[in-house]
């Protein structure tokens, strides 16, 4: 059975079929090939001109975690948005989203969660991808995020006291878990992150609903009502738990949107829902990070 976040993200195609449909090169860590397909016409490309782009690494547990960052060229200090990748890691779509935040006036930073495993985009199918990703302990990802957060906080172009986090798919799950874990954050925006994920000893011992009472930052949740793996009831349950805990929380469910509706390189992309959600996301970070 395909796991929830992939259940309807490819419009009925297998991952192999989808990658083949967008070109022989497929999706790579450095970028992805786009052919003349319906999906190709929707792919958003954010230019790097007028932005300062940098690639570096951050030490986490003695390992150099690859980092990609973008910010406006104008001198000054900017609030920070940490961008947590979906399960395919720091590929070109995630880098593009990072540049989009930079164009909106943030220092945006993303990283490669699966660098220790050599990445996952070269793997042949969903089963192989899940085998790698599902073995990565949440605690390790939280440690990597701690390291990336510390790096961003001391960045000379950062308002280090104004840090938010967002993430997509598996990154949405990590966004919620990190919001419960970190005291450095001021806001969080999870995009269709699992709320009741499967638990595995040594890998994942709790989900977002289990630690909702540990979250103390404003949370904007963006979910699809047609997501085959995340029931709307779970979304409402998490929103209610956060409100009960005294947290500013708003969860938006787009009735006809499937999982991964923001991923403009996949058949799951829904332009109207994506545009509205992006506007809400920026407004949330403007409100809670730029004030």
144 is catalytic: no
Residue 32: φ, ψ to 5°: -145, 145
> What is this structure's pTM?
0.89
Which has the minimum average pLDDT: 80-89, 95-104, 196-205, 261-270? 261-270
* Mean pLDDT, rounded, for 110-128: 89
Bridging pattern class, strands 51-60 and 63-72: antiparallel
Bridging pattern class, strands 63-72 and 219-224: unpaired
Which has the minimum average pLDDT: 35-39, 109-113, 127-131, 181-185? 35-39
Cβ pair 78, 71 in contact under 8 A: yes
pLDDT of residue 31: 33
Name the percent of the chain lying above pLDDT 90. 79
Q: Catalogue the long-range contacts made by 43-52 (C-beta closer than 8 Å, 24 or more residues apart).
A: 43/264, 43/265, 44/96, 44/100, 44/264, 45/96, 46/96, 46/99, 46/100, 46/103, 47/99, 48/99, 50/103, 51/99, 51/102, 51/103, 52/102, 52/157
What is the C-alpha to C-alpha distance for residues 172 and 165, in angstroms, rounded to an integer?
9
pLDDT tens digits for 249-270? 999 999 999 999 999 988 899 9
Question: What is the maximal distance between C-alpha atoms in the chain?
Answer: 50
What is the C-alpha to C-alpha distance for residues 113 and 263, in angstroms, rounded to an integer?
18
> Alpha carbon of 21 to those of 17, 41, 128, 226: distances in Å?
6, 13, 19, 24
Residue 247: φ, ψ to 5°: -90, 140
Does the pLDDT at position 22 exceed 50? no
* Active-site pick, 169, 264, 281, 288: 169
pLDDT band at 291; cut points 50, 70, 90: confident
pLDDT of residue 122: 82
Which has the minimum average pLDDT: 16-30, 136-150, 272-286? 16-30
pLDDT of residue 82: 99
* Active-site pick, 227, 234, 264, 281: 227
Q: Where are the beta strands (DSSP E) in the chain?
A: 51-60, 63-72, 78-84, 107-111, 158-168, 187-191, 219-224, 249-254
Which has the minimum average pLDDT: 57-61, 88-92, 239-243? 88-92
Say which CATH class 4-289 falls into: alpha beta
122 is catalytic: no
Name the percent of the chain lying above pLDDT 70. 86
What is the C-alpha to C-alpha distance for residues 114 and 86, in angstroms, rounded to an integer?
11
> What's the chain's average pLDDT?
88
pLDDT band at 185; cut points 50, 70, 90: very high
pLDDT of residue 99: 98
Domain segments of the chain as ranges: 4-289
pLDDT tens digits for 121-169? 888 777 888 899 999 999 999 999 999 999 999 999 999 999 999 999 9
227 is catalytic: yes
* Active-site pick, 91, 93, 259, 288: 259
pLDDT of residue 3: 44
pLDDT band at 39; cut points 50, 70, 90: low
pLDDT of residue 41: 56
Which has the minimum average pLDDT: 23-27, 45-49, 188-192, 278-282? 23-27
* Mean pLDDT, rounded, for 230-247: 97
CB neighbour list of residue 17: distance below 8 Å, 6 or more residues apart: 10
Which has the minimum average pLDDT: 123-127, 168-172, 268-272, 277-281? 123-127
């Amino acid at each position: 059975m395909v796991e929830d976040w992939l259940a309807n993200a490819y419009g009925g195609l297998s991952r192999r079929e989808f990658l083949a449909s967008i070109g022989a090169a497929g999706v790579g860590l450095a970028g992805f090939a786009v052919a003349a397909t319906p999906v190709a016409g929707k792919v958003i490309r954010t230019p790097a001109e007028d932005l300062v782009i940098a690639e570096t690494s951050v030490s986490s547990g003695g390992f150099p975690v690859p980092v990609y960052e973008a910010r406006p060229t104008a001198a000054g200090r900017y609030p920070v948005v940490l961008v947590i990748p979906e399960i395919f890691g720091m590929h070109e779509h995630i880098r593009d989203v990072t540049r989009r935040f930079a164009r909106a006036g943030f220092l945006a930073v993303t990283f490669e969660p699966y660098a220790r495993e050599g990445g996952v985009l070269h793997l042949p199918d969903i089963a192989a991808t899940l085998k790698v990703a599902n073995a990565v302990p949440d605690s390790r990802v939280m440690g990597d995020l701690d390291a990336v957060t510390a790096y961003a906080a001391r960045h000379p172009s950062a308002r280090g006291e104004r840090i938010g986090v967002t993430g997509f798919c598996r990154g949405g799950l990590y966004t919620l878990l990190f919001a419960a874990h970190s005291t450095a954050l001021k806001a969080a925006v999870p995009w269709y992150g699992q709320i009741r994920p499967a638990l595995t000893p040594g890998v994942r011992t709790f989900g977002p609903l289990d630690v909702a009472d540990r979250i103390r930052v404003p949370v904007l949740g963006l979910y699809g009502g047609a997501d085959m793996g995340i029931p709307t009831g779970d979304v409402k349950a998490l929103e209610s738990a956060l409100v009960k805990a005294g947290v500013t929380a708003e969860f938006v469910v787009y009735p006809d949107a499937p999982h991964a509706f923001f991923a403009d390189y996949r058949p799951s992309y829904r332009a109207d829902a994506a545009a509205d959600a992006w506007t809400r996301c920026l407004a949330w970070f403007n409100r809670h990070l730029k004030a």
